[in-house]
Each structure stands twice: as C-alpha cells, then as structure tokens.
Chains A and B, each alone.
Chain A
C-alpha cells in the first residue's frame, strides 16, 4: 500500500517537473527554430554583407540583402522613443508618486492602465489618421509617414510601462530617507529629486529596459505609420524596421528571400537578448555597487 502511494507521489512529482520545464522548452524551441531557419541565408549571403550591406532589394533581378538600414532604423527608432518617452514618463511618475492628491492619483493610474491595455493597432490607427497628415502639414514634408511618426507612436506606447514601474520604484523608497532629508532642511521637491529618485534608480532603470524591449519589438503600430521603404534612416524619410521588414514581406517571400527574412528575425532576437543581458548586467552591478 505504501509502495503504491510512493509510486503515485513520484508520478505526480514527475508530471509537475515536466510542466515546470515547459517554459524552458519553449525558449529552447524558439531559439532552435530561429537559428535553424536563420543560419542558411546568412551562410549564403555572407555575414558581413548581410549585417553591413546598405541595400535591401530582395526581389530585384540582382537581389541584395543588406539589412543595415533596418538595424539602424530600429536602433534610431528605439533611441528616439526612449529619449522622448523616458523623461516625460519619469516626470509624470514622480508627480503621481509624490505630489498628486489621492483622488487624482487613482484616476490617473486607471487612465495609465487603460493606455497600457489598448491594442497596438489602435495606436497605429490613430497615428495613421492624425499623426501622419499632421507631420506632413506641420513640417512641410511631402509625406508624413516617416521615422518621426514611428518614434512618436513608440514613445506613447512605452509611456504606460515606464510610468507604472517608476511609480512602484518610487513608492518603495523608505520613508525614513525622505524624513531625514526634510529634517535637514530640504523642501519636498528637493527631497523628491535629490533623495527619492536616486534611491529608486534601479527600478527606474528597469522601467527603461522594459521600454526598450517594447519599442524594439513593436511591429503593427509602426507598420501603419512608417511608410515601409527600405531606406537608410532619416527623420522624415519612409523607413523600414527590423520588425516591419519581416512582417511586410513574409506572406509572399520564397526561396532565399524567405530565408533572409528568418535571418532578420534571428538578428532581432539576438539583439533583444543582447540588450536585455547588457542592461540587466549593469543593473545588477549598480545594485551591488
């Protein structure tokens, strides 16, 4: 009887072990598939030519598969979104955490949650109809679908995550720090920025990492406002990101072109892993330091 029970318990343990390993299996699956699909094209096109070639002409009579325009566009786009989104989000977070009266805070936080939950295509929709004509009229460019439009949309999309994480980090700062600062004669605002913010540094850095991850991986909203021509990035030019490059040609690509798209996905994947690993490394170091 006892053996039966033990065997049963063992079996249950085994089942749960397998379930526990599902996430690891999934990561392995994704990595393996991307590598298997992505390597052949890189091998055939040549790593340097692929990563640093400046022309992408996948269906021309003499195809060229350089993805430098996409890489640079993704980098500039993400950087632009961070440069606009982080300061605004951060300031708003400080307001919410330290200054806002409770009622205002509740209302604003639910507004931010709503912003976070809206599907990205809705942002793309509004961007398509408001931002693109707006940029065309305001800056007197022939066409508003551009890197700038994508940057603005991305900045708006990463605001909620930045605000949420920053607010949590700021609220976690021990009250004693602030009390001590006030006792020493600092005003509330000074305390806020000179004491609480540095104390919440790692949380805010985590918010930035989250923002970077979201911005570099966004495809749908960006596809609707950025014009989709494979140019080297320039603020008012129609551009293509790593993500939109995959999305726009995927459905009809064949042969080497299709494999090149998988390689782009592989590059994107590695990029994101690299960024996450680097930023987390710096976070850990500053935590210990």
Chain B
C-alpha cells in the first residue's frame, strides 16, 4: 500500500519511462502493420494463377515464378536431406557419447561461431569451395551444401535440447535390460528427440526461405523449369533470389511484390507450424 504521495521527481521519472515504453511498443506495432500492409497491398493484386504456374517468357512478355517455386522446394529438400543426419548425429555425439566436458564445449563453441558468420561470407566460401574446388559449378546443389553448413548449428541445438529432456532413467533402464549403446540410442533417445528434430527442421526451412546472399553466388539466378535431379545440378533462382533480381536488376516491381507477399505468407505459416509443434510436444511430454 502506498503511504503518502510520491515525490515529484519519482512521479516524473515514472511518467517518462511509462511514455517511452508505450511509445516504443506502439512504434513497433505500427512498423509491423505498415510493412505487412504495404507488401500485401502491393503484392496480392499481382498474384495470379498465371504468375504461379508459368515460367517467364520474353517473347510473350510475361513473368512466371513456377521455376522459382520449384527451385525453392528442391533446395529445401536437398538441404534437409543432408543436414538432418549430420546435425542429429552431431547432437547425439554431444549428448550421448562425449565424456570430456571441455571437448563438448569446444564443439559447441564451434557451432556457435558458425551461426555468427554473415551469409555473404558463406556465399563466397561456398562459391570457392563447392562451385570451383569441388567442381559443382553454379547449381542448386552447391547452394544446398552451403545452406547445410549454415543450418547445422540450428539442428544441432534443437536436437540437443530435446535429447537432454529424455530422462536418464529411461536410458539406464534400457542398459539394465542388456541393450548395447547404439540400441539404447536408437530406441530410447532418438524417439525422444523427434520434437527437437521437427522444430529444427521448421526453423531451418524458415531460414532457407529467407536466404539470398549465400545463394546468389552458389546457385545463380536462372529460371529454367526442371525436374528435381536436373534442377539440382543446374543453376536456379529460389523465390528470395528471384525477388532480389526482379526488384533490383529488372525493376519488375509487380512480380517482386507478389513474391514478397507469398514469402510473407509462408513465413507466417512457418511460425504458426513451429508454435503448434512446440505446444503439441509440450503437452505430450507433460503426460
């Protein structure tokens, strides 16, 4: 209970801080609303079935983003295909096998270093290593490999976190029943960390969708319509790269905003999926 009045100084301070807080929160809300509204208003009118289902044509003066959509799907599949075994394997090693605490800390700090490197440097090294040294040329596959390294820390972290939530007693029980270490991991630890793996996947997909600097030099920006295997070995633009090219290099803002609106929608869906999965698994684990 407040006894007596507050001093003027205190009241002034409280009022100032209060105003600042509300102002900043309001500013952020306004910013988000403006961005979403601007992108949607400029983008949605340009989204047509024609845009979504055809490739760009110079002769017919038409822009279509079907190749970009397919390229994005291919690169997501390829990246996840490679990063999941690597990341989950590394996480398993860190939680189940590694005994030396300093070694574990060393590997974890390496993973953290990876997540701090800017994407343009990934693009550069990816171009040097995957495209030129390994001879993959400018291709979706080279882009996927670069994205693998970028998303490795995410997968490792989320898998590790959920592996840690598997009670040690489960493992000890399995050991007590005579199972070898690999069997224990396969039957006890892995099923227990599925939620971490899925969360990691969703986060990675979100990151892959938003990535452009790393892909610009490794996957190029071609718009050829390909099957998955053909597509992976040739250059291709993903949606985000296509957005950059249409906006900055060609001045086709209609198409650029349409892609931006699509990406906005996809980001929203991914966030929703992540939140729902987390809630589902939290409920399941609480049982």
Direct contact of A and B (CB under 8 A): yes
- Chain A residues with CB under 8 Å of chain B are 5, 8-9, 12-13, 15-17, 19-24, 26-27, 29-30, 33-34, 37, 87-92, 94-96, 99-100, 108, 110-115, 117-122, 124-126, 128-130, 156, 159, 163, 185, 187, 189-190, 192-193, 213, 216-220, 223-224, 243, 246-247, 250-251, 262, 265, 268-269, 272-273, 276
**Is the beta-carbon distance between A16 and B38 smaller than 8 angstroms?**
no
Chain A: CB-nearest residue to B122 = A30
Q: Of A5, A91, A213, which is within 8 A of B116 by CB?
A: A213
B residues touching A (Cβ–Cβ < 8 Å)?
Answer: 2-3, 6, 10, 13-14, 17-18, 20-25, 27-29, 31-32, 35-36, 38-39, 85-86, 89-90, 92-94, 96-98, 106-107, 110-111, 113-114, 116-125, 127-129, 149, 152-153, 156, 180-182, 206, 209-213, 216-217, 240, 243-244, 247-248, 253, 256-257, 260, 263-264, 267-268, 270-271, 275
Cα distance A83–B126 in the bound complex, in angstroms: 33
Smallest CB separation, A206 vs chain B (Å): 12
Decide if A121 touches B212 in the complex (CB within 8 Å): yes
Which of these, B25, B29, B152, contacts A23 with CB under 8 Å? B152
Residues on the B chain within 8 Å of A217, using CB:
117-121
**CB of A288 to closest CB in B, whole Å:** 17
| B260–A20 CB distance below 8 A | no
- For A246, what are the chain B residues with a Cβ–Cβ distance below 8 Å? 120, 124
Complex-state Cα separation, A246 to B123, whole angstroms: 10
In the complex, which of the residues B22, B32, B110 contacts A95, with contact meaning CB atoms closer than 8 Å? B22
Give the nearest-CB partner of B22 in chain A. A95
The docked-state distance in angstroms from the alpha carbon of A90 to that of B17 is: 12
Docked-complex contact A20 and B94, CB < 8 angstroms: yes
Q: A121, B27: Cβ atoms under 8 Å?
A: no
In-complex Cβ contact of B270 among A13, A26, A89, A117 (8 A): A117
Supposing A23-B156, A27-B113, A29-B125 touch, asked if A117 and B24 sit within 8 A by C-beta, the answer is no
B residues near A117, Cβ cutoff 8 Å? 206, 210, 267, 270-271
With A and B bound together, what is the CA distance between A190 and B6 in angstroms?
12
A29→B152 CA distance, assembly (Å): 14
Q: How far is the CA of A21 from the CA of B108 in the complex (A)?
A: 10
Inside 8 A of B117's CB, which chain A residues have their CB? 30, 217, 269, 272
A272 to B118, CA, bound (A): 9
A37 with B128: CB separation less than 8 A:
yes
Query: Are B21 and A33 neighbours in the complex by a CB distance under 8 Å?
Result: no
Q: 30 A-B contacts, Cβ less than 8 Å apart? A: A12-B182, A13-B181, A16-B92, A17-B97, A20-B93, A22-B152, A24-B110, A30-B149, A33-B128, A88-B28, A95-B21, A95-B24, A111-B32, A112-B32, A114-B32, A114-B264, A114-B271, A117-B267, A118-B267, A119-B212, A119-B263, A122-B264, A125-B257, A126-B38, A190-B10, A213-B116, A217-B119, A224-B244, A243-B213, A265-B120
Q: A247 to B120, Cβ gap below 8 A?
A: yes
Cα distance, A128 to B256, chains bound together (Å): 12
Is B120 in contact with A243, judged by CB distance below 8 angstroms? yes
Chain A residues within 8 Å of B92, by CB: 16, 19
Tell me if B90 and A23 are in contact (CB < 8 A).
yes
A226 to B31, CA, bound (A): 21
Chain A residues near B127 (CB, 8 Å)? Answer: 250
B271 to chain A, nearest CB (A): 5
Query: Which of the listed residues A16, A89, A99, A122 has the most CB atoms from chain B within 10 Å of its own CB?
Result: A122
Contact A115 B35 (CB under 8 A): yes
The answer, among A33, A91, A120, for a CB contact under 8 Å with B24, is A91
Nearest CB of A to B120, in Å: 4
Report Cα–Cα, A108/B124, bound state, in Å.
Answer: 36
A10 CB to closest chain B CB (Å) equals: 10
B3: A residues at CB distance < 8 A: 185
A9–B183 alpha-carbon span in the complex (Å): 9
Q: Which residues of A contact B27 (CB under 8 A)?
A: 88, 92
A218 with B153: in contact, given A88-B28, A115-B35, A159-B28 (CB under 8 Å)?
no
Q: Is the CB of A224 within 8 A of B248?
A: yes
Are B25 and A27 in contact (CB-based, < 8 A)?
no
Cα–Cα, bound, A243→B270 (Å) = 29
- Collect the chain A residues with CB atoms within 8 Å of residue B114's CB: 23, 26-27, 30
- In the complex, what distance in Å separates the CA atom of A216 from the CA atom of B217? 20
State whether A108 touches B29 (Cβ < 8 A): yes
Q: Are B29 and A216 in contact (CB under 8 A)?
A: no
Given contacts A125-B256, A125-B260, A262-B124, are A250 and B217 in contact (CB under 8 A)? yes
The reply to whether A27 and B247 contact each other, CB–CB distance below 8 Å, is no
Say yes or no: A118-B120 contact (C-beta < 8 A), given A8-B182, A26-B152, A108-B29: no
User: Top 4 closest A-B pairs, CB basis?
Assistant: A217-B118, A19-B89, A20-B93, A91-B24
Q: A16-B90, A19-B93, A23-B152 given; name 16 further pairs at CB < 8 Å.
A: A15-B89, A16-B93, A23-B90, A30-B122, A34-B121, A91-B24, A111-B28, A119-B267, A120-B210, A128-B248, A159-B31, A187-B6, A216-B118, A265-B120, A269-B121, A272-B118
The reply to whether A24 and B119 contact each other, CB–CB distance below 8 Å, is: no
Report the minimum CB–CB distance from A25 to chain B (whole Å): 9
Query: Which of the residues A108, A122, A276 comes within 8 Å of B28, measured between beta carbons?
Result: A108
Q: How far is the CA of A162 from the CA of B119 in the complex (A)?
A: 19
